[in-house]
A and B are shown apart, each in its own frame.
Chain A
C-alpha cells in the first residue's frame, strides 16, 4: 500500500497492522462498569445496536469505510479512567488487610501491568482482525463459541458490577436514613432494612430509568463516579488522621462526641487516649489467611475496562495504536495510584477491622459524621444513576441472543429489563457480602476479559507472527496464567465458602 493511501487512514506508518471494520461493525460504545463514553451513537435505538453482529465478517483489511475519531487525548484518558474505576475501590482496603501492605502492592502492580498488556493485545488484535467490537473479535477468532464467550463474559461482568452497586445501596442507604433522622434503635424498622430499601430503590428509581429506549442524559451521569471516587479518596485520606487506634477506643470517643454535636465529627481532631497501642495498630507487610484468596479477584475486578477500550480507541482523534497505548498507560497509572492510596489509607485507618466494603466500616466508628454523610449521598447518587446505564448492554445482549430478528416490542423490552433487575436484586438479597460478588466475578468474568479472551484472540487472529515468535509465546503464557488465576481463585473461593458458610467480612 502506498504512503498516500495510508494517509486516508489515521494510522502512523510504523504501526505493524492497521485495519478497521465499517461503522456498522462497531456502532455501540459499551458503558462497561460505568463508563459513559462519549460516542456518536449514544442515541441510536439500543435495541438496534448490534452487540452480536455478524455483518462484514468476510471483509478484508482497508476495504471498509473509515470513521475518523473526534475525541481528544485528554478526554480519552478521562473516558478510560472512568471505565476502570468502579465499586471495586471500596473492597481494596479489605484486600490489603488480608494480604499485607507489601504483598498488596506487588499484586496491584502485577494486575495493573497485566491489564495494560491485555489492552496492548486487544488493540493489536483489533487492528489485525479488522473489528472494534469485543464480541466481533470473538466471532472472527472462534466463530459462535467465541462470540458467546465474549458476550457472556461482558454480561456476567456487568451483572457483577450492577450487583456491587446495589450492594452499596443496601449497605449505605440505611446509614444515610439513620444519619438524617437521628434514629438510634434500628430493630424491626423496615425502612432501615437494606433488603427492603434496595427493592424500593430498584422499583422507584432504577426501573423507570432502565425502561428508556435511549440512554439520553444517563450516558453522562455515569461519568460522575470518577469524580465521586476522587472525593471518596480525599475523605479516606482525611479520616486516617481523625480516627484513633485501636478502633475499640474510637467507640468510646464516638459516644462522647454524639452526646453534643457542638462541631461536626468531620472536623474533630484525633483525640488522644491511654489505650496502649497493641498489635492491632501495627501495619503488617505480609499476611496469609483464609481471606487472602479474595485479594487477586478483587484487584482483577477493579481493573476491568476492556470492553470499553475498543470504542474509546474508535473515537480517539488521530487514531493510532501507540497513541491509544499512551492513553491506556496514563489511565492505568492514575488508577493504580488512586487504588493504592484508597487501599493504604483505608487499611491504616482500621487495620484488621476493615470490612469488605470500606465506606460501611466508618459507620461503627464515627456514627453520624457529616463529611461521611456527604460522601455516602454522593456515592449513592452515582451508583443509582449508573445501574440503568449498565442494564443497557445486558438487555441488548440478551435481546440479540434470544430474538435478534424480531421487531422492537415494549413488552419484551420491559420483561427483559424487569428480569435482569429482579435477578440482580435476588443476588444482592441472598449473597451474604459484597466480597463474594467481587471474588466470584473477579475470578470468572473479569479474568476472562483481562487474561483469557484477549490472549486467545491474539493467538488466533494475528497471523503475521509465527507461533514461535516472542509475542505469540508471551500471549500463550498470558493465556495460561489467566487460566491458572481463574481456576485457582475459583477453587479457593469455593473452598472458603464451604468452610466458612456464614460468610465473614461484613
Chain B
C-alpha cells in the first residue's frame, strides 16, 4: 500500500486548482464582459448574447436586429433568455467557487470541498447548456465565419472546467491533510 503523498505535492495541486479557477473566471469575464458576449465579431457579422447584427446587402451596412425581428429569424425570446441565464449564471457560480475551496483547504473540511466541486459541476453544465442552446439558434450564421475571441474564450473556459472537475475528483480531501493546513489560514 502506497504511503501518503508528500505535503508539497498536495499544496502544489491545490494551488494549481485555485489558479485554474481564476483563469476560468478571467476567460469568462473576458468573453462575456469585455467582448460583450460576442461569439463572432467581424466587419460583416456580429453575433453574440446581446448583439445580433447581419450584413444588409441593400444598404451595405451591418444591421442590428432587435426582438420582434429576431423571433422571425428563428431566435425565440425564451430560448435566448435561457441561453443567457446559462452562461451568465455559470460565471456567477464559478465566482463563488474559490471561497469554499479555500475554506476546505484551511479547515480540512471535506464538505466545503464537495460544495466547491458542486458549484463547478453545475457551472460547467450551465455553460455547456447555455452555449449549446445559443449555438443551436445561430449556427446557420456562425458556421460561415471564423470563431471570434469570445467564442474561443468560452470554449476554453468549458474545457478548463471539465479539467478542473477531473483534477478535483482525483484530489479528494483526506483526513491526514489536517496536518498540512495552509499557514495563512
Contact = CB atoms under 8 A, between A and B. Distances in A.
Interface string B12-37: 00000000000000000000111011
A72 interface: yes
Nearest to A231: B95
A69 to B, nearest CB: 13
B64 A260 contact: yes
B115 A374 contact: no
Interface secondary structure of A, over-half rule: helix
Interface string B117-161: 010000000000000000000000000000000000000000000
Contacts of A337: none
Contact of A371 (B33, B103, B107, B115): B33
Contact of A374 (B92, B99, B103, B111): B92
Interface string A174-199: 00010011110000000000000000
B80 A181 contact: yes
- With a 10 A CB-CB cut-off, give which of A75, A177, A221, A224 has the most chain B CB atoms: A224
A182 B185 contact: no
A71 B109 CA distance: 12
Determine the interface band of chain B, counting residues with CB < 8 A from chain A.
35 or more
Interface string A208-235: 0000000011001101100110010000
A220 B77 contact: no
A220 B36 CA distance: 32
Given A266-B33, A267-B33, A370-B33, A381 B115 contact: no
A378 B103 contact: no
B103 A220 contact: yes
Given A217-B111, A262-B51, A370-B50, A381 B92 contact: yes
Determine the interface band of chain A, counting residues with CB < 8 A from chain B.
35 or more
A447 to B, nearest CB: 32
A252 interface: no
A368 interface: yes
A92 to B, nearest CB: 23
A221 B19 CA distance: 22
A46 to B, nearest CB: 17
Contact of A261 (B50, B81, B100): B50
Given A260-B64, A262-B46, A370 B37 contact: yes
A456 B168 CA distance: 51
A71 B103 CA distance: 11
Contacts of B81: 177, 180-181
B115 A221 contact: yes
B59 interface: no
A373 B37 CA distance: 13
B105 to A, nearest CB: 11
Interface stretch (B3-11, B82-90, B169-177): B82-90
A334 interface: no
Given A75-B107, A217-B118, 5 more contacts: A182-B66, A223-B99, A227-B95, A262-B46, A267-B33
Query: Closest 8 interchain pairs by CB?
Result: A181-B81, A264-B36, A180-B81, A377-B92, A261-B50, A180-B84, A378-B92, A260-B64
Interface of A: 38, 71-72, 74-75, 177, 180-183, 216-217, 220-221, 223-224, 227-228, 231, 259-264, 266-267, 368, 370-371, 373-374, 377-378, 381
